[in-house]
């Protein structure tokens, strides 16, 4: 990696490459979470044959939905960082505003890209947030987060 930094423009290439890899890996992981959220939602409403069920997207479509959603949220996040920096907001205030904003964007992206209603997209987003929060808590506990807090 340090070799890229020595080449003219290498830092820009390395940053772009890491951003691209992060988007691809993040989209694949989010596709798994999206399909899991669809499965959990459909089990709660009566199975796949229920009129209230959400069709399970294919792996490619789920990855594409997550990739488009990630790019849109990334661009909105960059714009929000500029607003936060220029308005001199505290980090807590900025996060309290940004979290519902990104959640709403996620719901709208699911509503636009999946054949479902707005309320079902809202339920899928809530299930996704619970899954991601659970994974985050497990990783925090497993990788010694509690030990770091005790110090």
Query: Structurally, how many domains does the chain consist of?
Result: 1
Q: Can you tell me the distance from the alpha carbon of 38 to that of 41, in angstroms, rounded to the nearest whole number? A: 5
* DSSP 8-class letter at 57: P
pLDDT at 3 over 70: no
In this predicted structure, what is the pLDDT of residue 146?
63
In this predicted structure, what is the pLDDT of residue 151?
60
In this predicted structure, what is the pLDDT of residue 145?
65
Q: At what angle do helices 91-113 and 118-142 cross, to 10 degrees?
A: 130
pLDDT at 24 over 60: yes
Q: Per-residue pLDDT tens for 121-146?
A: 999 999 999 999 999 888 888 877 66
In this predicted structure, what is the pLDDT of residue 36?
95
- Percentage of the chain exceeding pLDDT 90: 36
Q: According to the 3-state scheme, what is the secondary structure of 59-117?
A: HHHHHHHHHHHHHHHHHHHHHHHHHHHHHCCCHHHHHHHHHHHHHHHHHHHHHHHCCCC
pLDDT at 5 over 50: no
Q: Can you tell me the distance from the alpha carbon of 117 to that of 142, in angstroms, rounded to the nearest whole number? A: 37
Note down the domain range covering 50. 2-150
In this predicted structure, what is the pLDDT of residue 71?
86
């Amino acid at each position: 990696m340090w070799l890229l930094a020595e080449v003219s423009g290498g830092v820009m290439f390395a940053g772009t490459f890491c951003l691209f890899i992060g988007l691809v890996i993040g989209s694949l992981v989010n596709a798994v979470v999206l399909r899991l959220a669809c499965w959990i939602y459909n089990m709660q409403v009566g199975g796949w044959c229920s009129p209230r069920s959400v069709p399970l997207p294919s792996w490619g479509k789920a990855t594409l939905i997550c990739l488009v959603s990630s790019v849109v949220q990334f661009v909105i996040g960059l714009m929000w960082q500029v607003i936060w920096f220029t308005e001199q907001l505290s980090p807590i205030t900025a996060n309290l505003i940004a979290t519902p904003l990104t959640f709403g964007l996620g719901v709208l992206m699911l509503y636009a890209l999946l054949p479902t209603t707005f309320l079902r997209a809202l339920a899928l987003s809530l299930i996704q947030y619970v899954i991601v929060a659970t994974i985050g808590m497990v990783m925090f506990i497993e990788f010694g987060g509690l030990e770091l807090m005790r110090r």
